[in-house]
Amino acid sequence: MKLSTRTRYGVRLMLELARNKGNGQIFLKDIAHEEEISEKYLSLIIIPLKSAGLVNSMRGAHGGYTLARDPSEITLKEIVDVLEGDTCLVDCVKNSSTCSRAETCASRDLWSIVSDGISRTLGSVTLADLAKMSREKSEAGLMYQI
């Protein structure tokens, strides 16, 4: 399984919004600059995130974007599901009628276990968790030895 660039950039966009939680609205151009991603591409990614109720927007001079909920309430699974679609690896796991061998196929069982694991892992990590990991990595990068 390979996640699309859209999903990877979408997670980075959402992480930047989480990092700025409590600091008011943030402009897409500022996220684009900070994350080194095209503003035009981010403007396409933000649309489904806003439609899904994960992001709020405000127009005007003091406008921009904020998270619609607290970072601790938004899981990576929600973001991936919006941008990537279902995290199920193969169609037969989700819909056994797509394959006549579904009931007797050991491979399908394996793909089901793997798909469930991915879904559980993404569902167990929140934007707050990711923001914390990001802060820790930044702080570790600032440490140096003499």
Average confidence score pLDDT of the chain: 90
- pLDDT at position 137 is 84
The CA-based angle 97-99-101, given to 5 degrees, is 115
**Confidence tier at 90 by pLDDT (50, 70, 90):** confident
| Residue 84: pLDDT over 70 | yes
Q: All domains of the chain, ordered by start, with CATH?
A: 5-127 (1.10.10.10)
The string of DSSP letters for 110-123 reads HHHHHHHHHHHHHH
pLDDT in tens, 118-132: 999 999 999 999 999
| Residue 77: pLDDT over 60 | yes
- pLDDT at position 108 is 85
- pLDDT at position 22 is 86
Task: For the chain, state the CA radius of gyration.
Answer: 18
How far apart (Å, rounded) are the C-alpha atoms in residues 90 and 93?
6
pTM: 0.87
| Residue 111: pLDDT over 90 | no
Q: Which range, 38-47, 89-98, 107-116, is most confident?
A: 38-47
**Confidence tier at 144 by pLDDT (50, 70, 90):** low
